[in-house]
A and B are shown apart, each in its own frame.
Chain A
Amino acid sequence: MLKRLALGVAAAALVTSPAAAGPKDFTAQGYALPADKPVTIVLMRPDMEVGELQAGGMVEPNADWTKAAREHLAKAMESAHKSRNIELKPIDESQEGNAQLVADYEALHRAVAEAIVTYKYYGAKLPTKKDQFDWTLGPGAQKLGEASGANYALFFYGRDNFASASRKAVQVAGMLGCLIGMCIITSGGQHVYYASLVELSTGNVVWFNVLRGSKGDVREAEGAQGMVDAIMASMPSRPGEGGKATTVAAKAR
């Protein structure tokens, strides 16, 4: 339906908007991690896809790149949490019901994150949510806490599309056209990431960050670590800590 189209456009705009590269985060109003207990996190599977952006604007998924990026990102996440002294708690998906529970909340989180990206970042603001950041997965998210022993869940999403040779040729042709007064500016690769921290006792999204642009090639270990460090830079992670503004700028590519 049309509404789905509208949301798709918002997401596409976020991906392609070169002017707003870099991270931008939101923290739930006045939220701070509880001071009286350690922060333990269940890391949800990174929802990561890597592909090649074709000349016409379509993306051709690349399974090898995606697999490499997922593995590097998982390691980078573990390393980032270790350096912050955050204990990661896995969910045993072989236990009855856990695989469905994880799948249900990953799907719900995608719908919530899509709403946050559309209505907090793209510009089509919801009047009832003016100056508010109060999205939630609902208190049922506590089941993820019970299954893992964690008090927070971290969700991660990434779409990294590298420009194909044909795309780069179109870019060059467009720029050359400027010399004769016929400019067609074609964007190069597309890199969009977001992460959200969910308090499992309430299901509330307490911190959310979007990173547009690239901090490195996620198909390689170093690039994946750069991306994870950039997006997590503003995440509250110590007991008693609230949100903080980030000044990390992404490298436009």
Chain B
Amino acid sequence: MRKFLMIAGGAALLAAAPAMAGFKLMPAGQPQLIRKSALTVTPGIAWNRLGARLGRNAEAWTLDGNTLNDLIFYTAIPAGQTLFREVDKKNKPLPKFDAKMLAPDVVAMFESSYRIANSTSLFSVDSVEPATFAGKPGFRFTYSFTIQNEEVRRSGEATGAIVNGQLYMITFEAPKIHYYDRNIADYRAVVASAKVG
């Protein structure tokens, strides 16, 4: 990030311009279909949906900005697909989802994807437990990480399930100081409202 910030000039701007798509209001109490998939959630408070695509089956919402609160939906990820868009496919390909994965395998895939995408070794899974997601048996795990060249320590929680061979998962991450605790209940309310199918 810091390195990227140092890169200036028209070429960089032109190359990444599509990523600067705007935000759309996700009003409280209104059901939202995620990426035209089978996943629907109803937020308890208003969020902002990022227009830029994180990947074919991922979508991000935020309250104060992505550096401060990041609610990410991974929806209907089929076997053979990565969680989000490849960052360096040739040298560091992201792991791919497999429909036969068990909860620990999904957690390992998530951890590996984050270590690659954020170029960080500072990532730890803090807990893994069974959970219900959209009425289906699934999993919940918590994690901590620091992105390379950013000193801010972040916490995260993920809840999901494999439904009809496809991965559905919602994650929330925010700085440990203030932001995580302030909105973790709003994230859990979104998760509790999730419906698949």
Q: Which residues of A contact B (CB under 8 A)?
A: 1-13, 15-16, 51, 53, 56-59, 103-108, 110-112, 114-116, 118-119, 122, 124-129, 135-140, 159, 161, 186-187, 190, 203
Contacts and interface: CB of A to CB of B under 8 A. Distances in A.
Which one of B11, B62, B177 has the greatest number of beta carbons of chain A within 10 Å? B177
8 contacts: A105-B177, A110-B151, A122-B20, A126-B63, A126-B65, A129-B64, A138-B182, A190-B8
Best-buried of A115, A139, A190 by chain B (most CB within 10 Å): A115
A200 to B, nearest CB: 13
Contacts of A124: 20-23
Contact of B50 (A3, A5, A53, A140): A3
B89 interface: no
Interface string B139-169: 0000000010011110000000000000000
B77 interface: no
A111 B69 CA distance: 10
A159 B153 CA distance: 23
A122 B16 CA distance: 15
Contacts, number: 156
B150 A126 contact: no
Nearest to A112: B68
Given A4-B147, A12-B13, A13-B13, A128 B178 contact: no
B16 A6 contact: yes
Nearest to B54: A2
Given A3-B54, A53-B8, A58-B7, A104 B65 contact: no
Given A1-B87, A111-B68, A137-B177, A127 B25 contact: yes
B66 interface: yes
Given A12-B12, A128-B47, A3 B66 contact: yes
B52 A4 contact: no
A111 B175 contact: yes
B195 interface: no
A135 B4 CA distance: 24
B179 interface: yes
B94 to A, nearest CB: 10
A125 B67 contact: no
Contact of A126 (B8, B64, B177, B182): B64
A173 B19 CA distance: 31
Interface in B18-54: 19-25, 46-48, 50, 52-54
Chain A to chain B: the 10 pairs with minimum beta-carbon distance, closest first: A138-B178, A115-B65, A57-B9, A8-B4, A107-B151, A127-B25, A6-B19, A107-B152, A111-B67, A59-B6
A105 B177 CA distance: 8
Contacts of B46: 127-128
A51 B2 CA distance: 14
Given A2-B52, A8-B4, A115-B64, A126 B23 contact: yes
Contact of A127 (B8, B23, B67, B150): B23
Given A3-B60, A125-B23, A126-B65, A9 B12 contact: yes
A131 B85 CA distance: 33
B84 A2 contact: yes
B99 interface: no
Contacts of A128: 25, 46-48, 63
A125 B21 CA distance: 10
B16 A9 contact: yes
Nearest to B2: A8
Contacts of B177: 104-105, 108, 137-138, 140
